[in-house]
Structure 1
Amino acid sequence: MTAETDLRSPDGFVYASLPQLMALEHHSRGLSFLSRQPLSSILSGAHASRLRGRGLSFDELRNYTPGDDLRHLDARATLRYGKPFVRTFTEERDRPTLLLVDQRMNMYFGSRHCFKSVAAAQLASLCAWMAFHAGDRVGGLVFGDETLEHIRPQRSRARIEALCAAVIRANHALHAALPEAGQPDRLDTVLRHCLASAGHDHLICIISDFAGAGDQTLQLLRQLSAHNDVIAMQVYDPIALQFPDKGRITITQGSVQRELQVDKRQVHGPLGDFLSGRLRDVAELLRRSRVPLMMFSTGEEVLGQLRLELGRLTGSAR
């Protein structure tokens, strides 16, 4: 085994592995994006069903027959024609789910438990299995700083394996010698690609730290959510919330690296404020987009956080 291979061993903390992601199927059972609340729940948006494409769609207006649900009486048609009419509905059971999985160099960082890139990989797998068990087709866009792999939605275990394999390829392409990202608008480019390919009535989960997000990102998110259900899953490192007050850290910008003594006041204050402020700014931008936001720390296990976040958004205990 070479030193390079050993460096990238899939330990689940710095690098993920395909068997680890596929094994998350068992843990995904019982989890759902569907709200059990009334139609005013946070996932309902401006459309009728709890999640677009997973509720009831109008089928036809017809004469009332004994046994029809009286709640489906159409008052206008009944008054107009002088006899009872009911609206009938069909349940939409199949809906494409797209997972946008960020594996850029900005994700190759973690101060506790695991790197952001690994947390994103685990979230992608859990979401894929959740959609699969809900009867949906599953696909995704896996992107790095220079790469973009599009896995078209299908409902099969082989397609989930293909998606997870794409995530692993992008994950294992990350290493410390790579320069930090060259395209500041990379996230916007991927969102435009998603906008062109998704059409409407998709569930779109964006799993990223949202580095580089700005006004254009806000506009693209609003365009996506106009005809699809969009959920933002922001992955962050706990160092952004509680900056260490002693020791040394190494910061990088491209090929330039510098070690800083964090217990120095001129270092600790400005850098801590910058990291926490950036996290708040991105979260505020996502809230302005009116896209439901879930936040995931790399300092804790992803599965437990996903259960809590789903419960918070849908208002149901899990």
Structure 2
Amino acid sequence: MSETNSSPTSFFDNPAIYSQLDSLLQLRFHVKRLRLNSQQRLISEKAGYRQAIRKGRGMEFNEVREYAPGDDIRHIDWKVSARTRKYHTKLFTEELERPVLCILEQSPKLFFGSQTRFKSVQALNIAATLGWVTLQEGDRFGGYVFNHLGHKWIEPKHQAKNVLQFLNAATTLQQQVLRPGTRDNWQHHLSQVLPHLKSGTRVYLIGDFLDMEPTFFDTLSHFKRQCEIVLIHVFDPVEADLPSQGILKLTDGENQTDFDTFSSRQLADYHTQYASRFDALQQLSYSLQIPMLSVPTQDNVLESLRAQKVVS
């Protein structure tokens, strides 16, 4: 996406480069009667995936009462029992509202776009859509959004202001990114989220995910023990295939190189490198039985999510 001589104010007002809060709020009116499909359905849509173990909505503590025959001994409250000298057991109730989390990347790695919008903008479009669908479905929405400078955690609640709080935090962090780069630090941020997870939570991870460290997938295996996980890979078409436009200057925000797009060999090598990185990501998610979806920057988010059965 070419640079312009626009003022700083118009730069932030450009919806292709930075998300506009009004547009994110308007997405709420386009998701009526839509539902989030389960991880199991997404897995079944992917050829070769085996059915995963279904996890419930989770249990919340309700009260303590005196132990009765037939109660699960694993739920005995030993502290109360010792104090009263009578066995007491904890009672739990099933959560009626499922927690849904979006873990959203807004790092310099996503500050790029050749068509329609930047990857960071598209990633936030996805999170906003999932947030509004969650709310109208009657579940609790929250999340964690991060860039290279900081992060924000939003506790899941069934409130419209919760989605708005998430969107405000995301747009603020997004506007702190002024140039592309390679830093994302997913592993650190996943470790921040892990203590907040509850059994039965549905978690959507939205970002780039190429060239991840092995520890990233080790942490995902911990998530998967108690949660449904879906990976949503956001990419720009030019990352997979370069247009034939002569000599192009390519940069990752730190290094720059000249690339001859008239050379069929160089174009083939470029495509092969991306395909190799993408296949590696796909194979690792497959090995964990975590469905992975891809959304390009030029797509209409709602149409793309519906086509890939994330919502229906």
Instruction: Report if TM-score (shorter chain) is over 0.5.
Output: yes
Letter in 2 for 1:3: S
Q: Tell me how far 1:36 sits from its aligned partner.
A: 12
Letter in 2 for 1:45: A
Describe the superposition over 1:268-300 as per-residue Cα deviations: whole angstroms up to 9, x where unpaired.
Answer: 232222122212222222222211222111132
Q: Tell me how far 1:168 sits from its aligned partner.
A: 0.7
Within 5 Å, give how 1:234-273 maps onto structure 2: 234-265=233-264, 267-273=266-272
> Structure 1 pair 219/244, CA: closer, same or farther in 2 (3 Å)?
same
Q: Does 2:139 match 1:114?
A: no
Q: Which runs of 5+ in 2 are unaligned?
A: 1-5, 59-92
Note if contact 1:132-1:156 (Cα within 8 Å) is conserved in structure 2: yes
Note if contact 1:145-1:182 (Cα within 8 Å) is conserved in structure 2: yes
> Structure 1 pair 249/100, CA: closer, same or farther in 2 (3 Å)?
farther
1:134 is matched with 137
**Normalized against structure 2, the TM-score is what?**
0.77
Alignment partners' CA distance in 2, 1:249 and 1:29: 44
Alignment partners' CA distance in 2, 1:36 and 1:139: 18
Note if contact 1:187-1:212 (Cα within 8 Å) is conserved in structure 2: no
Alignment partners' CA distance in 1, 2:158 and 2:7: 39
Q: Tell me how far 1:92 sits from its aligned partner.
A: 4.4
Letter in 2 for 1:96: P
Note if contact 1:145-1:181 (Cα within 8 Å) is conserved in structure 2: no
Aligned with residue 167 of structure 1, among 166, 170, 179: 170
SS at match of 1:233: strand
Alignment partners' CA distance in 1, 2:298 and 2:37: 27
Alignment partners' CA distance in 1, 2:174 and 2:127: 12
Alignment partners' CA distance in 2, 1:223 and 1:36: 16
Q: Does 2:156 match 1:157?
A: no
> Structure 1 pair 249/275, CA: closer, same or farther in 2 (3 Å)?
farther
Note if contact 1:240-1:279 (Cα within 8 Å) is conserved in structure 2: no
Q: Does 2:54 match 1:47?
A: yes
Deviating beyond 4 angstroms after TM superposition, the runs of 4 or more aligned structure 1 residues are 35-38, 40-44
Alignment partners' CA distance in 2, 1:37 and 1:254: 39
- Which deviates further from its counterpart, 96-105 or 286-295? 286-295
1:205 is matched with 204
The percent of aligned pairs where both chains have the same amino acid is 22
Alignment partners' CA distance in 2, 1:136 and 1:157: 11
Describe the superposition over 1:82-107 as per-residue Cα deviations: whole angstroms up to 9, x where unpaired.
Answer: xxxxxxxx974212111101111111
1:297 is matched with 296
Q: Tell me how far 1:137 sits from its aligned partner.
A: 1.4
Aligned with residue 12 of structure 2, among 8, 16, 19: 8
Considering only aligned residues, what root-mean-square deviation do their CA atoms show, in Å? 2.8
Letter in 2 for 1:6: S
Note if contact 1:218-1:288 (Cα within 8 Å) is conserved in structure 2: no
Letter in 1 for 2:57: G
Describe the superposition over 1:43-73 as per-residue Cα deviations: whole angstroms up to 9, x where unpaired.
Answer: 972026xxx319xxxxxxxxxxxxxxxxxxx
Note if contact 1:113-1:299 (Cα within 8 Å) is conserved in structure 2: yes
Letter in 1 for 2:115: R
Letter in 1 for 2:52: G
2:216 is matched with 217
Alignment partners' CA distance in 1, 2:249 and 2:40: 46
Alignment partners' CA distance in 1, 2:279 and 2:51: 25
Alignment partners' CA distance in 2, 1:44 and 1:228: 15
Alignment partners' CA distance in 1, 2:18 and 2:291: 28
Aligned with residue 124 of structure 1, among 123, 127, 134: 127
> Structure 1 pair 197/91, CA: closer, same or farther in 2 (3 Å)?
closer
- Which deviates further from its counterpart, 134-143 or 253-262? 253-262
SS at match of 1:23: helix
